Amino acid sequence: MATASTPENGDYFVKSAEKTLSVLLAFTGDRPALSVTQVAEATDLTRAAARRFLLTLTDLGYLATDGTLFKQTPRVLDIGASYLAGLSLPQAAKRHLVALAQELDETATLSVLDGQDVLYISRVAAPRLHSVTLNVGSRLPAWVTSMGRVLIAELPEAAREDFIQKIVPQEFTSRTISTTDALRAELLKVKEQGWALVEQELDEGMRGVAVPITRGGEVIAALNVSIQPGRAKREVLTDRVIPLLQATAQRIADDFGGRQLSAGAAGS
């Protein structure tokens, strides 16, 4: 439905702009193709007025029609392009990290590869925690973290092997995968399954679960939650935590322009 103007709207208020936006917003994922009558009903416009708006938007390239039904074109993405262009990945991810941390009551982190390290670019502590020891700008050896393994696993084969060759293996705990052969096998497993689980390899009493964030077919970051072993059984990780991470990663990618890239690819 169109948003009705209110007494607070001043003399500046342009009703035709409101109506234009209401026509564009009438199209949804569930209703991608609409007739003149359906648009009129959705926007509280007369059929004649709805038809004029639809034909004008078609002439401008924002809609296409087969003579009966109208659909949005990829050009509607231009409306939000400048906003997306100025949006940083941490900004796009922040609200999703907050929601994830609250949902799981665990700390959620976003990181990227920087040399041989993972670099924390956004982090939201679990609501139950009053402080965190790692913050934005912190670095950890990528090969021994769940986020790092997700990011290394998605590198092209030659780049991945070069990365592995530069690692200086060491045993941070008794559980650390500390040989290049074992690490290489683990990275192949991570790439195949699409997520990484690191069980107390860097720090006793802590495990990390991570998934990649992909935009336009390119992995741009990793999303992770850190969970103490006693707080969740392994089946909880695979049945609940990982699917929630993957859904959150998709939402972050979409807000960072991933939906725009996908639509552009589909129209090419």
Convert the pLDDT of each residue in 19-49 to its tens digit.
999 999 999 877 899 999 999 999 999 999 9
CB 79 within 8 A of CB 200: no
> In the structure, what pLDDT confidence band is assigned to residue 5 with cuts at 50, 70 and 90?
very low
> In the structure, what pLDDT confidence band is assigned to residue 168 with cuts at 50, 70 and 90?
confident
Q: What letter would DSSP give residue 46?
A: -
What is the pLDDT at residue 3? 45
CB 187 within 8 A of CB 177: no
135's tokens? 């913050």
How is domain 15-72 classified at the architecture level of CATH? Orthogonal Bundle (1.10)
Q: What letter would DSSP give residue 4?
A: P
**Where do the structural domains in the chain lie, given as residue ranges?**
15-72, 84-267
Interatomic CA distance for residues 146 and 142, integer angstroms: 8
**For the packed helices 89-104 and 242-253, what is the interaxial angle rounded to 10 degrees?**
160
Q: At the fourth CATH level, which superfamily is domain 84-267?
A: GAF domain (3.30.450.40)
268: three-class secondary structure by DSSP: coil
What is the pLDDT at residue 154? 93
The residue to which tokens 């290489």 are assigned: 184
pLDDT per residue over 102-132, tens digit each? Answer: 888 888 999 998 889 998 888 888 876 555 5
CB 194 within 8 A of CB 211: yes
